Structure 1
Amino acid sequence: MKDEHPTNTDELFTHAMAARQRAYVPYSGFRVGAVIRLENGQLITGCNVENASYGLTNCAERTAIFSMIAQGFRDVQEIAVVAEGDRPVAPCGACRQVMAEFCDAKTRVTLYNTAGQSLVTSVADLLPFAFSKEALQSE
């Protein structure tokens, strides 16, 4: 993917790692951190929050996006996600769908592992043919 937005990847990585440390993961132990950079430069973080009723668990990416919405913002410039693994870890399907709802298809998404390896992609590349509000419009 072409880098359309200048970014300070060290800053995003640092904030995503800090968010990851706040994760509530007593069941899986799998900590994930996410950070959103808004068009105005502000950063909003999220971490995964588990629940004994596993279906009620919320991923870091959705936590960050829902926090952004709750704070009255909609202007995502880019997203970064970090988790432990041999390679950068990609978002789950639910997170990809939420990203498609609140981000432009070209929004930059940087995936990291805790060693700092990264993969740069976009919302469209993560979820091609996304289900969107246009599909709900009837003739």
Structure 2
Amino acid sequence: MTDTMDQALFAAAEAVRAKAHAPYSRFTVGAAILADDGKIYAGCNIENAAYPVGNCAEASAIAAMIAGGARRIKRIYVTGPGSAPVTPCGGCRQRIREFADLDVEVISHGVDGTALVTTLEKLLPYSFGPEYLPK
């Protein structure tokens, strides 16, 4: 992947993170997906007073991707506050698994630290995916 594409994904994740609705946790997260159509789709976390009703940034980005007509994740970038990498939660790892191959790189970034670059397979080992279901 090019540095230019990673910069674009980071910028998209950060731009949408600024719009996050996180009045309860105050932990804003942004996610940006490079999809199979070559476009970038972004989403932020949206909290709700009736926990756990809300959306993670990754789920929001996936919804934007599907609404935009794309179907597969080629790369995903997740940003959040602090210095530790902000990795997708367990539920979002499974959501990403639905739309990404196991070798897709997931970049997790606490914006004050160093990004963690790993694969979906390393984040979600021994995963259950759509290929296990009858056609």
User: TM-score, structure 1 length as denominator?
Assistant: 0.88
Deviation (angstroms), 1:13: 1.4
Q: Does 1:136 align with 2:133?
A: yes
Deviation (angstroms), 1:73: 0.7
Deviation (angstroms), 1:7: 4.5
- Equivalence for 1:37: 34
Q: Which amino acid aligns with 2:24?
A: Y
Q: Sort the Cα spacing of 1:65 and 1:25 in 2 relative to 1 into closer, same or farther, 3 A.
A: same
- Equivalence for 1:46: 43
Stretches of structure 2 lacking an aligned partner (at least 5 in a row): none
User: TM-score, structure 2 length as denominator?
Assistant: 0.91
Partner residue of 1:83 out of 66, 80, 83: 80
Structure 2: distance between partners of 1:63 and 1:89: 16
Stretches of structure 1 lacking an aligned partner (at least 5 in a row): none
Structure 2: distance between partners of 1:123 and 1:108: 6
- Equivalence for 2:70: 73
- Does structure 2 retain, via aligned residues, the 8 Å contact 1:30–1:83? yes
Structure 1: distance between partners of 2:59 and 2:67: 12
- Equivalence for 1:6: 2
Q: Which amino acid aligns with 2:13?
A: A
Using the TM superposition, name which of 34-43 and 95-104 deviates more.
34-43
Equivalent positions of 1:13-32 (< 5 A) are 13-32=10-29
Deviation (angstroms), 1:133: 2.2
Structure 1: distance between partners of 2:66 and 2:57: 14
Structure 2: distance between partners of 1:121 and 1:127: 11
Q: Which ranges of 4 or more aligned residues in structure 1 deviate by more than 6 Å?
A: none
Structure 1: distance between partners of 2:122 and 2:82: 21
Please give the secondary structure, in 1, of the residue aligned with 2:102.
coil
Structure 2: distance between partners of 1:81 and 1:113: 8
Superposition RMSD in Å: 1.6
Counting matched residue pairs gives 134
Q: What percentage of residue pairs aligned between the two structures are identical?
A: 43
